[in-house]
Amino acid sequence: MIALEPYLDLIISVVYVVGIVLFLSLFALFATWLERKVAGHIQDRLGPMETGGWHGWLQPIADAIKLLIKEDIIPAAADKKLFKLAPYLVFIGSLAGFAVLPFAANLIGSDLNIGVYYVIAVTSLVVIGILMAGWASNNKWSMYGAMRSAAQMISYEIPVALSLLIPVMMAGTMSMVEIVDNQAGGFWNWYVFRTMPFSLIAFVIYFWASLAEVNRAPFDLPEAESELVAGYFTEYSGIRWAMFFLAEYGDMFVVSAIAATVFLGGWYAPFPFLDIIPGPIWFIGKTAFLVFVQMWLRWTLPRLRVDQLMYVCWKIFLPFSFANLLLVGLWVVLKG
Amino acid sequence: MILHFLTQAVFWFLVILTVGSAIVVVFNKRILHSAFALLFTLCGVAGLYVFLSADFLAASQMLVYVGGILTLIIFGVFLTARMYNMSIPEQTHQRFLALLPVLGLGGIIFYVLNSAEWHLITPMVAPTTENLGKMLLTTYLVPFEVASMLLLAALIGAIRLARPRKEDHDD
């Protein structure tokens, strides 16, 4: 028997990483099913009903098997190396965000001192991956999709970062666990409801801007199916396409989880007496609710035009974010 | 023992990643492949910062260089007109003349590396953010503000240059 103790950290890390990958895959499966059901009911139809019997619950698994055994097509004119590499980059950028999500006080990949900043930094990889996919496909639609996506993600990174700064300023730390701990004891302590209305404005700006960050409707111009077929992943099929899809749903989870962490009290229950329900359930529940709102918006709102997209970012979100930042700064100073 | 080995393995992986992709950046004939190879160089450097326990710097490296500058470079290549027909010089000319600055620069770097007094410190796991923030707003406030003014001026200048001029339309 080898003494395991020195390697305990290592083993826990490996188990956690494997767990997160599994969680991400399961979440993506569930989310595709939910998306179809939400879309169906909003459009006054039922969505998948056949596969598996109860409300088509096996549909995502059937889809996953289909994607796994599908032929992997690489266009003859594509830049093959970059074409193969791009889905991995996008997926890594999405997965890396999970490292700092606090499912509970002790259930976190790494409670980095720079947690919030880290998430904003690693999402840069996604932009590069998308640009790479668009270029390597050697296709006009892919190229336009990639350019739009990169322009959009870079622009909206600024309001996202500025609105995330507000809870960071209120908590005085960028560590995810400490930010959540500062919101303990009931929903009136959550940052979204403190310093009304400034933090509420920050939350709203964050939520909208994060929709643009993950290329979801009404900001889904990069993959606008009515004009660009599927944008930057037009040429992808099978498992490589599935990786883009996985990354998109992973990103949806990450941005919603960050909103739940820094604005909605993370793993804490809305009322202290409900704390008997374990933290991860609250955390995943809040996140899943925000993911549901993202889907709800997608099937409700029309797509923006490019100029409207830039107008909203630079002329509405940005000035409001800056004013917000100054006022919350004043609040923090006055409160001492 | 295994932990030490793993740390070493990760370190050498980062070193090879950084240097290897940097070589690709310099020698690749296709400009876009060079740009994408730069991604791995920048990520490798960010990893090395983590080894130096400079967590904030590593994240900034990712945010500024990968998210900003590299994207800008790739956009620059994308938006270059007639990218496919452009003849990019692919041969090396004037090898002997080029040798002079190469040797000169190499000598300077070698000299600095040799003559500098390297202080070996035990790596700190303590976060750097707090000290950085304090120093930026006290000791280094003036350089910080000067740098931000410079960037703001560059931003306004770029917008001024990129804007179509009025007289162009009138003519």
B150: confidence class by pLDDT, cuts 50, 70, 90 = very high
Q: Are residues A240 and A303 in the same domain?
A: yes
Question: Which chain A residues are closer than 8 Å to B55 by Cβ?
Answer: 112-114
Question: Which chain B residues are closer than 8 Å to A118 by Cβ?
Answer: 59
Alpha-helical (H) ranges within chain A are 8-42, 59-69, 80-97, 115-122, 124-136, 140-171, 176-181, 198-213, 225-228, 238-262, 279-298, 306-311, 318-335
Q: Are residues A176 and A151 in the same domain?
A: yes
**Could you list the residue range(s) of the whole structural domain that residue A253 is in?**
71-335
- How many CB pairs lie under 8 A apart between chains A and B? 68
Q: Are residues A152 and A269 in the same domain?
A: yes
Q: Are residues A204 and A312 in the same domain?
A: yes
CA distance A254 to A296: 18
- Contact A147/B75, CB-based, under 8 Å? yes
CA distance B152 to B81: 28
Write out chain A's pLDDT in tens, 336 residues.
456 666 777 788 888 889 888 888 888 888 888 888 888 888 888 878 777 778 878 888 888 888 888 888 888 877 888 888 889 888 988 888 888 888 877 777 777 778 888 888 888 888 888 888 888 888 888 888 888 888 888 888 889 989 988 888 888 888 888 888 888 777 777 887 777 788 888 889 999 898 888 888 787 777 777 777 777 888 888 888 888 888 888 889 999 999 998 888 888 878 877 777 787 888 888 899 999 998 898 888 888 888 888 888 888 999 999 998 898 888 888 876
pLDDT at B86: 60
B79 → chain A, closest CA residue: A147
Q: Are residues A24 and A117 in the same domain?
A: no
- Contact A128/B36, CB-based, under 8 Å? yes
Considering only CB atoms, A132 lies closest to which of B36, B55, B127, namely B36
Please, is A186 exposed, middle or buried when counting C-beta atoms within 10 Å of its C-beta (0-12, 13-18, 19+)?
A: middle
Within a domain: residue A3?
Answer: no
Q: Are residues A178 and A106 in the same domain?
A: yes
Q: Are residues A60 and A91 in the same domain?
A: no
A122 → chain B, closest CA residue: B62
Please identify which residue in the block is written with the tokens 């989880």: A257
CA distance A261 to A283: 8
Q: Are residues A64 and A83 in the same domain?
A: no
pTM for the complete prediction? 0.83
The total of structural domains in chain A comes to 2
Considering only CB atoms, B3 lies closest to which of A10, A127, A131, namely A10
Within a domain: residue A150?
Answer: yes
Three-state SS at B116: coil
Closest CA to B65 of B31, B35, B105, B91: B35
Within a domain: residue A9?
Answer: no
pLDDT at B171: 46
Distances (CA, A) of A306 to A148, A152, A212, A220, A310: 8, 9, 12, 10, 6
DSSP structural state of residue B127: -
Question: Which chain B residues are closer than 8 Å to A127 by Cβ?
Answer: 67, 71
Within a domain: residue A10?
Answer: no
Instruction: Specify the higher pLDDT residue, A183 or B20.
Output: B20
Within a domain: residue A24?
Answer: yes
Q: Are residues A115 and A176 in the same domain?
A: yes
A116 → chain B, closest CA residue: B59
Instruction: Choose from B74, B152, B155 for mutation: most chain A CBs within 10 A.
Output: B74
Q: Are residues A181 and A210 in the same domain?
A: yes
Within a domain: residue A152?
Answer: yes
Considering only CB atoms, B63 lies closest to which of A120, A132, A135, namely A120
Residues 6 or more apart whose Cβ sits within 8 Å of residue B125: B53
Could you give the angle at which helices A80-97 and A238-262 cross, rounded to 10 degrees?
A: 30
Q: Are residues A20 and A159 in the same domain?
A: no
- Contact A147/B78, CB-based, under 8 Å? yes
Of A69, A94, A109, the position where a domain reaches its end is: A69
Residue A83 to chain B, least CA–CA distance (Å): 12
